[in-house]
Amino acid sequence: MIRTGMAATLVAGAMVASMATAQEKVTFGTNWKAQAEHGGYYYAVAEGIYKKYGLDVTIRPGGPQVNHNQLIAAGKIDFNMGSSLNGALNFLQNKIPVITIAAVFQKDPQVLICHANAGADKLSELKGKTILISSGARTTYWPWLKAAFGYTDDMIKPYTFNPGPFLADKNVCQQGYVTSEPFKIAELTNVAPVIHLLADNGYDTYSTTIEVVREVAEKKPDMVQRFVNGTIEGWYGYMYKDRAKANALIKTDNPEMTDAQLAFSHKELLARGIVDSGDTKTMGIGAMVDARWDSFYKKMIGAGVFPAGMPIKEAYTLRFVNQKVGM
């Protein structure tokens, strides 16, 4: 006689075996060149996790000349890596039927980087300083910084993704990712810069989300669920297990990536709770909650980025997350 728990295990095993025999091809577009910030996806490929879920996943790296937002909207890729909830709300505002189905990063890695001993130890102390930001930042976190800390547009100068202007002037701050630019700056100067993680100062967007066309989520929910589950398991693996195979794939897709940068990025992802913090501790990696979406949307209304009255629940679904997968 088979016990109930054992029977359930056997059925689940049979389902996985069945899925593994018929590999469904899926393309996932990332937001930049391969890096540790994409580690969970590469881990799921390298360790056969997606394959276990019956998926043959191709990771399509992003870059300066790649617009995956357009490709997902046009149905040219199956899943897309969203940057922040600003992108999801832009889709909604423009009536583009792309929805968010998981939030891999509970904290946006976006930072402002300043020089040590330059009177810039708090975000409130940056008023009047020159801050180098990209054009994209002007419509995302910069309006929030203006509303929250009284910054003004005359503080802005263009960020060209070159640390030279920052290094040349101690009164200048610049944008960056906590997992990337601080490492390069410290390498060049042998001095750790001052880092302001916007997520720890009230900028509560989710980041590195998974997006899909609404029709796909409705018509192929099983495939979507398998991709989300495989991704979540991949991120648990990348965060807490041996990353060697995943890192090798990352370096294959991005030959400029170094082991030192990968190690630094992983350390910051862990230390800052970028992936695994807050709601993920009870609901699993990828978690999302209505209250968080509502909080961020209200901040963007206050910053003048989006109008009040948008039906924001149409921008996402909780159907595929909060199931403790991988825990």
What confidence tens digit (pLDDT) does each residue in 134-190 have? 999 999 999 999 999 999 999 999 999 999 999 999 999 999 999 999 999 999 999
3-class state of residue 141 by DSSP: helix
8 A C-beta contact, residue 102 and residue 286: yes
Q: Which numeric CATH code is attached to 110-201? A: 3.40.190.10
Q: Which residues contact 188 (CB under 8 A, 6 or more apart)?
A: 163, 167
Superfamily per CATH, domain 4-106+205-315: Periplasmic binding protein-like II (3.40.190.10)
- Where along the chain do the CATH 3.40.190.10 domains lie? 4-106+205-315, 110-201
146 burial type by CB count under 10 A (0-12 exposed, 13-18 middle, 19+ buried): middle
8 A C-beta contact, residue 206 and residue 76: no
Count the helices and strands in the chain (H runs, E runs).
14, 10
| pLDDT value of residue 65 | 82
**Other C-beta atoms within 10 Å of 9: how many?**
12
pLDDT at 11 over 90: no
**Owner of token pair 């799921």:** 44
Q: Provide the percentage of residues in the chain whose pLDDT is more than 70.
A: 94
| pLDDT value of residue 16 | 52
In one-letter notation, the amino acid at residue 124 is S
